[in-house]
Amino acid sequence: MNCLLLLYGFLYSLPNQAESPERLRLVGAVPSGFEQTLQLNFSLFKVDEYTASGNHKLVRNTHIRLEQLLGSSPLDLAGSLKHYELTNMARCQAPELTTIFSGVEQGYETNVMLTVCPKLANLDTGYLRFTKAILADALYFVEIEQQVPQFSPNQTRTLRETVVFWTDLLKQFILCSENSATPACLTASTDG
């Protein structure tokens, strides 16, 4: 499946002269066959959401959501990500949260979490959700959620192909400043 590199210019953060004069943007790859279905742009909260329109089994019933939260930064990024996930899985039966990565990426504190929901209440579906949180001049979230037919928790291993596909894609979402010299940021600036 070919990936199309898109710049998310709407996710430019508001410059804060006291901390950093550089403006950041979230750059990432969205598989072909996704359409933008939501865009919100408020002073402290920005969202862009894409929904799969293709029928390939790895992207069917999938949403990619990008969020930027301006304002005070959390003291604990891992705790903030866990809270974010817990509030999003209220209707899930037997959810499982797994931290995939916690560390520094591109010079920014980053955490990645996988949420496995075998079954939603009153529905015959569950979901896999991959969420990447990046703490920089703002708090950035990249969320990829795919609805799947309900499954028992011991069947999670059968979803390995899906997990590998989305984990690899999630790695491609990074923050770039106007002066970034990393290869991914340079490629994005020439494609934009």
Q: Residue 140: its pLDDT value, please? A: 93
What single-letter DSSP state applies at residue 13?
Answer: P
24-31: strand order across its sheet: 3-8, 24-31, 174-177
CB 70 within 8 A of CB 15: no
Q: Residue 14: its pLDDT value, please? A: 38
Q: What is the CA radius of gyration of the chain?
A: 17
- Residue 163, token pair as written in the block: 């997990």
> d(Cα 118, Cα 103) in Å, to the nearest integer?
28
* Domains by residue range for the chain, with CATH: 3-191 (3.40.1000.10)
- Residue 103, token pair as written in the block: 């560390």
* Each residue's pLDDT expressed in tens, for the chain with a length of 192 residues: 333 333 333 343 333 434 444 678 888 877 788 899 999 999 898 999 999 886 666 677 889 999 998 887 777 888 888 888 888 787 888 888 889 899 999 889 999 999 888 888 888 888 889 999 999 988 999 999 988 888 776 666 667 777 787 888 888 898 888 788 877 777 765 554
Q: Residue 110: its pLDDT value, please? A: 94
CB 149 within 8 A of CB 126: yes
Q: Residue 17: its pLDDT value, please? A: 37
From residue 69, how far is each of 103, 172, 185 by CA, in Å? Answer: 20, 20, 22
From residue 38, how far is each of 49, 50, 60 by CA, in Å? Answer: 5, 7, 18
Torsion of CA 29, 32, 38, 43, to 10 degrees: 20
pTM, two decimal places: 0.78
